[in-house]
A and B are shown apart, each in its own frame.
Chain A
Amino acid sequence: MNKKLVALAVSAIAAGAASAQTANVTLYGVVDTYLINTRVGSGWSTLTPARVGVASTSVSALDAGGLSGSRWGLRGAESLGGGLNAVFTLENGFDSSNAALGQGGLLFGRQAYVGLTGGFGALTVGRQYAPIFYTGADSDLDGYSNFSVVTNHMLLQSAGTQLRINNAINYKTPNMGGLTANVQWALGEVAGTTSGGRVFGANLAYNNGPINAGIGYADGKSAAGVSNARSWMLGGSFNAGVASISADYWQWKNPAVANTTRKSWAVGASVPLGAFSVIAQAGQLKVDGGAKQTLFNLGGNYTLSKRTDAYVRFISGSNNSSSNLDVPGVGGPAPSYDADKRSFAVGMRHRF
């Protein structure tokens, strides 16, 4: 086998359309794969009318996207003059443990948008992150890993309106001394109504030096135009050099159904120790009706290079007697009532 490295020419699609500007397209990606053992303790499959016991179980698996979802993508920008730029991002998610397409089989399931940026800010259209997503990102020292307390509370308990939004029109303000805001409207594409199925989101973020903080809001409507997923989040982190600390509060409910409120808080700290860094997070999730889950995430990263690192994580989710809340990020069997779920993971991430 004879391999040859050549420069990849990136050119305009139409013959003769090549302009003086060369297309500036970046191919990038992450491959992140980990081995995980998950043990779900004994509990109860039903509480009433009679308690039915469930034995403990455990599973080992090779999974993908531990610290960062495995992905590859294309992105680019073209200067249009006068400070105006055309930008795009097409980002595929895949499972590096079994090669399947991610996000339910979408090709560019992580992001697919095109837009214009300039002095006015950025106007982008397509499949994009919800504004509230950025609030969580500013509050999560574990960077939305599968093991993160923030991820397991906010993104995975009710992802629909808080993660990636189809048919979204997003306006982002310019950076005003660290302050930015997003306003997003996603078309519901339901006949006969402009509100049916729509998702609205907004956030305000402050990112300046050691401080990353923000507030975010998301509201989704059913096809009938009734709000059925509304959430807000307040959080941030502070990097003191020797350590970073974080805290957030998140709340979600379906306004159309009584007693559906979920509330969570999380705190975290990370300490860099040369090539090592140590992370610890703790938090609690409460659901109307008395269910309560306490979640811990402890671990460390070892940086092999700027592009490659290895990691270990221990995650513990403890349910109270009326809770069977899962820790969805780690996969494996869901716990029964009163059962705890504990996972140990070791993995490696490579970026290109």
Chain B
Amino acid sequence: MKLTKTAFAVAAIVGSVAASAQTANVTLYGYINTSIENNRGSTATTSATVNRMTSNSSQFGFRGSESLGGGLSAVFDLQNGFGSDDGNLNGGAMFGRRANMGLVGGFGAVKVGYDLTPYDDVMGLSHQNIGSTGFQNRNAGLSSGPGFAGNQLFTNYGRGGTAGCATDGNFDARAANSIAYTTPNMGGLVVRTMYAMVEEVASNGCKLWDTGAVYSNGPITAGLAYSLHKNFRGLGGTGVGMHDQNAWRGYGRYNFGVARIDASYEVMSWKVSTGTLKAKYWEIGAQMPVGAANFGLQYSQRDNGTAFAYSAPVGYTAPASLAAINASWSVGGGKHLAAVADYSFSKRTQAYAYFSNMKNETNGKLNTLAIGLIHRF
């Protein structure tokens, strides 16, 4: 076991064409976020506690750019996700968080491959200083973010935006086989739109069209996103029938200096055989910096889906288990409160602690107390 090492050199294979004067510019980067949590889940009749260590979006990646002259650059980003608690390869994909390449220039940027949807550009604005970390994340469970994992207090409605149209998922996700265009920055406004042929198989024509606009100028940050899913396969990952889904989300933030406040509103719709399911979500939050520390408070709420329509429509095949969907729907609503504190040792290293309380409409609860460490390189 050796413990010393020198600087790090990489060989860039430039290809068979003669190398130009430009040097390859490749960056190795990473983010490790590990927390230790105490989770207490309960229903009206039972409760259980789980202590665990969790990896939160831990990643490493390579990105680079090559100037092609005339303001044009070729860029790429390959981003791996792994478990900083157990070393696992997330999802069995080497670059399962991002794998794209493209051209950037005065016209904006065009990127192709596997990438976050523009919906996430707006979703991500809601994150507090520690990013998308565990159950403090107000998106967890309630909004279109990944919900509650195995705890099942809230149910995710919808489909996957990951590489597959049938998985349980949400509107905030990554899309495979995507092509995205980003405008140049127009006085603080950047718009990104993405089209994705998610699965590319003959049995379904599922595709996704996602657009997000983000405006940042001085103390004001605002965002608006719209997501359209065509021919996704039902709720709860059911493989029967193809359905259309859409969602939109608006976000606003004002930074007073001493503190910032923000709010979001979101409407999600899923067409199924029995009609259209609709869920509404809103959130408010505040965050205050105190020296090297930040203190944040978040509250969010999703309705219980009273807009569910049981009238049979025309043109949709029933999902495999309507009963299961209805059962899920009945526990769909919930409330989430989180208090977060973080302390920055440096720009690259942070420690944090949070308390999160989630409650659903059938008296399911999840209380989480966590501490964690973030390190970037």
Residues of A within 8 A of B (CB): 1-14, 17-19, 21, 23, 25-28, 68, 74-76, 78, 80-81, 84, 86, 88, 90, 101, 103, 105-116, 125-127, 137, 143, 164, 166-169, 187-194, 351
Q: Looking across the interface, which residue of chain A has its beta carbon closest to that of B35?
A: A125
Q: Looking across the interface, which residue of chain B has its beta carbon closest to that of A195?
A: B51
15 contacts between A and B (CB under 8 A): A4-B12, A6-B25, A13-B377, A14-B376, A21-B346, A25-B377, A27-B8, A107-B82, A107-B89, A113-B34, A115-B373, A143-B1, A166-B86, A192-B49, A192-B50
Cβ of B50 and Cβ of A191 under 8 Å apart?
yes
Interface string of B38-56 (1 = CB under 8 A from A): 0001000000111111000
Task: From known contacts A23-B348, A78-B348, infer whether A112 and B87 are also in contact, taking CB-CB under 8 Å.
Answer: yes
Residue B286 at the A interface, CB < 8 A?
A: no
Q: Which residues on B sit within 8 Å (CB–CB) of A143?
A: 1
Q: Looking across the interface, which residue of chain B has its beta carbon closest to that of A16?
A: B347
Cβ of A6 and Cβ of B26 under 8 Å apart?
yes
Residues of B within 8 A of A (CB): 1-2, 5-19, 23-32, 34, 36, 41, 48-53, 60, 80, 82-90, 92, 345-349, 373, 375-377
Q: Looking across the interface, which residue of chain A has its beta carbon closest to that of B19?
A: A2
Partner of A194, one of B7, B51, B82, B346: B51
Given contacts A4-B11, A8-B8, A13-B29, 13 further A-B contacts (CB under 8 A): A1-B13, A4-B24, A8-B10, A8-B26, A14-B376, A17-B347, A78-B346, A86-B345, A106-B87, A107-B87, A112-B87, A115-B373, A192-B49
Task: From known contacts A4-B23, A189-B51, infer whether A19 and B36 are also in contact, taking CB-CB under 8 Å.
Answer: no
Q: Which residues on A sit within 8 Å (CB–CB) of B345?
A: 80-81, 84, 86
Task: From known contacts A2-B15, A167-B52, A191-B50, infer whether A116 and B373 are also in contact, taking CB-CB under 8 Å.
Answer: yes
Give the residue among A84, A101, A112, A115 with the most B Cβ atoms within 10 A.
A112
Distance (Å) between the CB of B214 and the closest chain A CB? 14
Give the docked Cα–Cα distance between A10 and B8 (Å).
Answer: 9
Give the docked Cα–Cα distance between A33 and B301 (Å).
Answer: 57
Cβ of B87 and Cβ of A169 under 8 Å apart?
no
Give the docked Cα–Cα distance between A310 and B1 (Å).
Answer: 17
Partner of A12, one of B18, B48, B51, B347: B347
Cβ of A187 and Cβ of B36 under 8 Å apart?
yes
Task: From known contacts A9-B27, A86-B348, A127-B86, infer whether A189 and B50 are also in contact, taking CB-CB under 8 Å.
Answer: yes
Task: From known contacts A101-B89, A110-B87, infer whether A23 and B349 are also in contact, taking CB-CB under 8 Å.
Answer: no
Give the docked Cα–Cα distance between A168 and B48 (Å).
Answer: 22
Partner of B53, one of A12, A26, A86, A169: A169
Q: Looking across the interface, which residue of chain A has its beta carbon closest to that of B41?
A: A191
Task: From known contacts A6-B24, A25-B377, A115-B373, infer whether A88 and B32 are also in contact, taking CB-CB under 8 Å.
Answer: yes
Give the docked Cα–Cα distance between A168 and B53 (Å).
Answer: 8
Cβ of B346 and Cβ of A26 under 8 Å apart?
no
Distance (Å) between the CB of A111 and the closest chain B CB? 7
Q: Which residues on A sit within 8 Å (CB–CB) of B1?
A: 68, 137, 143
Give the residue among B7, B13, B19 with the most A Cβ atoms within 10 A.
B7
Task: From known contacts A11-B27, A86-B349, infer whether A4 and B19 are also in contact, taking CB-CB under 8 Å.
Answer: yes
Partner of A9, one of B25, B41, B83, B84: B25
Give the docked Cα–Cα distance between A169 and B52 (Å).
Answer: 11
Give the docked Cα–Cα distance between A166 and B87 (Å).
Answer: 8
Give the docked Cα–Cα distance between A105 and B10 (Å).
Answer: 26
